[in-house]
Amino acid sequence: MKLIIDRKIWFRGTTSRLLAEDGRRCCVGIYCAALGVPDEAIRNGRTVDELDKQEDVDSIKRLAPWLSGVDIGGNYLNAEKLYLTNDAANISERKREQLISRTFADNGVEVEFVG
């Protein structure tokens, strides 16, 4: 799969949302949209695991199981890397894009940034 991240709608560099009221999305929110997840399911959610409705969480996990889960030490895996990198205030845009691209690529998703 190829994921296009449009910098004009990409919510980053601060505590973001999967889908904010103003229509901006974090990288995981953009990915959810590409998977066909309805906006209503992710609106104002901070993470996939924290959505209001369990059926929405379950649906996303079925579409992209790699977005959830913890290792044996209780550390979040891929999704947490994406959330932390997306929201980091102290890294350059270039580095942010490289790290996000790498995490998606590790899970079979090619990323292209536009805009």
Tens of pLDDT, residue by residue over 28-75, are: 999 999 999 999 999 999 988 888 888 988 888 889 988 876 555 555
Residues above pLDDT 90, as percent of the chain: 65
Q: Does 3 have pLDDT greater than 90?
A: yes
pLDDT at 98 over 90: yes
Predicted pLDDT at 22: 95
Percent of the chain with pLDDT over 70: 93
Q: Which two tokens stand for residue 15?
A: 């505590």
Buried b (16+ CB within 10 A) or exposed e, 5-41: beeebbbbeeebbbbbeeebbbbbbbbbbbeebeeeb
Q: For residue 67, what pLDDT is reported? A: 83
Please name which of 74, 91, 83, 96 lies closest in space to residue 46, comparing C-alpha atoms: 83
**Domain residue spans in the chain?**
2-114
